[in-house]
């Protein structure tokens, strides 16, 4: 539980996660939030996809553009591979 005592590389608090959420929370507050349940779900899904893409080293805008282009081509299998790539570790 106190691994941070043994290693200075491990943070003592979880502020990293809170700081990552802060811009989205501020944007939601400034825009008066979602006006409907459907808007709330849409924002949750889009933010999850964009933040995951950024964490995986992708440009979020380019990633979303590619996914939407694949959907427009009606290639659902390609979208699934884009969102959930098979890694060598998972394949073996």
pLDDT tens-digit readout, 26-73: 877 777 776 788 888 888 888 888 888 888 888 988 888 888 887 888
Given pLDDT bands bounded at 50, 70 and 90, which one contains residue 89?
Answer: low
pLDDT at position 86 is 67
Given pLDDT bands bounded at 50, 70 and 90, which one contains residue 88?
Answer: low
C-alpha separations of 31 from 22, 24, 35, 43, 44 in Å: 14, 11, 10, 12, 15
Q: Where are the domains of the chain?
A: 14-91
pLDDT at position 55 is 84
Number of Cβ within a 10 Å radius of residue 53 = 20
Which pTM value belongs to this model? 0.56
């Amino acid at each position: 539980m106190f691994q941070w005592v043994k290693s200075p590389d491990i943070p003592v608090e979880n502020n990293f996660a809170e700081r990552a959420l802060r811009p989205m929370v501020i944007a939601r507050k400034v825009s008066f939030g979602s006006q409907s349940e459907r808007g709330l779900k849409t924002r949750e899904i889009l933010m999850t996809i964009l933040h995951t893409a950024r964490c995986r080293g992708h440009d979020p805008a380019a990633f979303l553009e590619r996914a939407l282009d694949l959907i427009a081509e009606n290639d659902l299998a390609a979208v699934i591979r884009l969102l959930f790539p098979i890694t060598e570790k998972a394949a073996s």
